[in-house]
Amino acid sequence: MFRTLERLLRDPTLTSPPPPPPPTYNPGVFQIHPYQLSQWLEQVWAFAANATFANLSPQTPFLGDPNIVPALALPTGPQTNPFDNGLASGIDQGGPGWAPGFYLPAAPGENVIVSGNSLALPWEHLIYAYVIESTGIVEIFAEIVRRFAVGETLETPSVASQMWLRATEELFFRDPPLFHLTGLTSLLRPDAQIARRNAYWRLLGMDVPHQVRPLPGRRVHAGQPWKQDVGIANVRFHELWLDLLRAVWTGYENALNTSGPNPTDPGYIYELCWYIQDMLQMRRKGGNLARDEYVHISTMSWFHLTVERDTPIVIDLRAMGTDPADRLMKLGERVGIRPSPRARELFEMADLVSAFIRFIEVGYFKPSTVPSLYATASTLRTDVVRIIDLWEMSTGDSIKADAVRLSGQPRPRDQHAQSSRSLSAPARTPRPSQTHAHTNGSGVTVTS
């Protein structure tokens, strides 16, 4: 969400052309008071109940049950909300028709009257948070904030970095304000890391690839507490997801065939989309995981935004770089934590895979629209092919090789049923090299 906010501060209507490289960013998002940011999250959440997001018919509810949004939102009226003026965050996104709201400190010590939100916003899918957290970014920034808070082992922070440090600690390493949407932790689930892993496991059936790093003062967790009392988790998601990517790749490879056999199977691709959609929606019955998803993706987007550009904290720690993974690597070196070696692929993939899985989940793919994934050039096809590349690079899951197989042989589903269920762990099943073959559409089989 915070990356969206940063874009909105630059381009309130989201209709400006993309800026020429190098991409600029608005540092204002890190200068906003954390209470305003928290309110902005409440505002965006509440606003989602009043908008449609590029609806196609028939579209299933965005979050499992549309009533979950008003059910969990703060009261909005001046007479009913005991906290503030109707959820107005005071963050100026521009746009038409908005009344003044809160005060936004444009510069330290200076307040200006600004207006509020005018555009209903969707948010990323939970898999975005999973992919970003798999880079190790949370552990690195937790240690950075801790070092700045307890001593002077790092550089003296600038005022801009002080604002970032304060907002980060308030928003993500402290219990949120009472009764607010972001308050996921409690006496019953005190650790946000465990809460996130619990959500990943339930919805995606996958674990974050690194160990839980206990925060100072928190007990060390034994085993995998996020899997306790879960009941049903989508443990087949990984297997179906890989099958889907393989089937789409087969379609992409053969999209231009004018002669010879074409193993593309649109019906099978639709079936996989439908299975995944059904699986994800089952975990969202009654609005389950909606709030968790919103809070977790907001958390990850804050850290993602921090390393997306040379932000004040990155500059102060002399971690400037050319891409988020580069900056994260340098930040990790400062505090002795090494991020995932596949961090670059993970950062690139997070956005893409989030939108694609959201589209699958809300049921946009039908038998008639499945060819959009591979047959004709479009942003969608470009993104899906990029996801295939990046997923294979970051996980080691074999996708492209398995997309070509002996005609008449079964799909390699069974071979990968026991495959890894985390991003960076190596695939446990060796590549079945003896059964790999390429027919190249000629019927002549070449065993690799």
| Residues between 220 and 279 that touch another protein (CB under 8 A) | 251, 255-264, 266
* 7 sits near another protein (criterion: CB under 8 A): yes
What is the smallest separation between the CB atom of 66 and another protein, expressed in angstroms?
A: 9
* DSSP 8-state class, residue 414: H
* 380 sits near another protein (criterion: CB under 8 A): yes
* 24 sits near another protein (criterion: CB under 8 A): no
* DSSP 8-state class, residue 447: E
Binder among 118, 185, 224, 429 for another protein (CB under 8 A) = 118
User: DSSP labels for 104-169?
Assistant: EEEETTEEEEEE---S------HHHHHHHHTTTHHHHHHHHHHHHHH--SSPPPPHHHHHHHHHHH
Rounded to 10 deg, the angle between the 159-172 and 290-308 helix axes is 160
Site for another protein in 383-402 (CB under 8 A): 383
Site for another protein in 303-362 (CB under 8 A): 351, 354-355, 358-359
What is the smallest separation between the CB atom of 303 and another protein, expressed in angstroms?
A: 16
# of chain residues touching another protein (CB under 8 A): 77
Binder among 47, 237, 270, 294 for another protein (CB under 8 A) = 47
What length is written for the chain?
448
- Rounded to 5 degrees, what angle do the CA atoms 35, 36, 39 make? 90
What is the smallest separation between the CB atom of 247 and another protein, expressed in angstroms?
A: 12
What is the smallest separation between the CB atom of 209 and another protein, expressed in angstroms?
A: 25
* 282 sits near another protein (criterion: CB under 8 A): no
Give the tokens for residue 314. Answer: 């990155």
What is the smallest separation between the CB atom of 323 and another protein, expressed in angstroms?
A: 16
Site for another protein in 144-203 (CB under 8 A): none
What is the smallest separation between the CB atom of 366 and another protein, expressed in angstroms?
A: 7
Residues 189, 228: Cα–Cα separation, whole Å: 12
Phi/psi at 114 (5° precision): -130, 175
Task: From 279, 128, 142, 301, select the one nearest 200 (Cα to Cα).
Answer: 128
Q: Where do runs of H (alpha helix) occur along 180-265?
A: 192-204, 237-253
By beta-carbon proximity to another protein, the closer residue of 50 and 228 is: 50
By beta-carbon proximity to another protein, the closer residue of 372 and 415 is: 372
